[in-house]
Amino acid sequence: MSTTPDHLRDGVAAARHRRANVITALLRQTDEALRLAETVLYPWLDLAIRLWLAQLFWVSGILKLADWDNALRLATYEYPVAWLDPVTAATLGIAIEVICPVLLALGLATGWR
């Protein structure tokens, strides 16, 4: 037999019920916010990241294209590929760094969900 008066027991139960309602409401709001972010924010975030990466590669490719001697030096000494001629490596590097950013910015070949 409990020595706690009924009115105190009822008050504790009511407080627990209110706390559960608050937590449920917070979880519901969090779920709605995440759903909204998933449908509205994430595509814009994906686009911003793709454009940022595309810009980095594009600038690198254009700089190598503008200074062919530096591109050859990089392919020969900085980033040598044992099984690839430095001229071929520099040409492939420039081609990839100029073509792929366009595809990346447009969202082509970036993986479909």
Q: How confident is the model at residue 9 (pLDDT cuts 50, 70, 90)?
A: low
2: pLDDT strictly greater than 70: no
Please give the angle made by the CA atoms of 107, 110 and 112, to the nearest 5 degrees.
100
CB 54 within 8 A of CB 104: yes
What would you report as the CA-atom Rg of the chain, rounded to the nearest whole angstrom?
30
Cβ within 8 Å of residue 75, ≥6 positions away: 81, 86, 87, 89, 90, 93
Query: Against a cut of 0.75, is the pTM above it?
Result: no
pLDDT tens by residue, 11-64: 667 677 777 788 888 999 999 999 988 888 888 888 999 999 999 999 999 999
C-alpha dihedral sign at 66, 70, 75, 76: positive
